[in-house]
Amino acid sequence: MKNDSPLAAHRSPVITIDGPSASGKGTVAERVARVLGFHFLDSGALYRLTALSAMKAGASLDDEAAVAALAAALPARFRDGRVWLADEDVTDAIRAEAVGEGASKVAALPAVRAALLERQRAYRQAPGLVADGRDMGTVIFPDAPAKVFLTASAEARAERRYKQLIEKGNSASLADLVADMQARDARDTARAVAPLKPAPDALLLDTTHMGIETAVQAVLAHYASCEGRAQQGN
């Protein structure tokens, strides 16, 4: 896909980390950004914020025009590891399973994706950016020098989410979470716009039996390799 954004000429390096829900991409991306001193974009948070905003407004998640309008004017702020919707700290609220399910639904709406496109690209600033999501390497930053696609079995991802929910004192059913992961995967990979898939030049990492630190080191090594090839090309 051609990048027609004015930011296409902006050569701050970008590392994209895409993958399905609970593959570990957010944790890995945040740690990589911290090591490199780069900015961090949790694109999924923008879709979760959009879904939460629609729920608060009483808008149907199937009403594409209404949800897209909310996305375009989303009063989102990210500060000190917290996420704000206008003046409300919604860091925990956007991680609720219902909001995650809603985010998957609104992310399939072309008008919503279009509304959030330039907002995501605007995060590309010096000294660099680590962006995690589902279409970072294929649509948002197709010219990123380093791309990674993290995956894991639905069972492994559901177990991780189950542990997170239990640790926070929430009740959860492992069987329901597996079914939810499979349903989200099917919806994300089948959607007409920006389906979940690895970029052709992405490093594929299966984290089913891989620890976070091992994944972080693999991403850092991949980035160093890509940077080395780029310098040789110059």
List, in order of start, the domains of the chain with CATH numbers.
13-38+127-226 (3.40.50.300), 43-125 (3.40.50.300)
pLDDT in tens, 178-233: 998 999 889 888 887 788 899 999 999 999 999 999 999 999 999 999 987 777 66
Q: Check residue 184 and give its pLDDT.
A: 86
Does the annotation flag 110 for ligand binding? no
pLDDT in tens, 107-117: 889 999 999 99
Does the annotation flag 81 for ligand binding? no
Does the annotation flag 27 for ligand binding? yes
> What is the band of 170 on the pLDDT scale with cuts at 50, 70, 90?
confident
Provide the whole-model pTM. 0.83
Does the annotation flag 211 for ligand binding? no
Does the annotation flag 23 for ligand binding? yes
Q: Check residue 2 and give its pLDDT.
A: 37
Does the annotation flag 198 for ligand binding? no
**Residue 187's Cα: distance from chain center in Å?**
15
**Residue 26's Cα: distance from chain center in Å?**
7
The mean predicted confidence, pLDDT, of the chain is 89
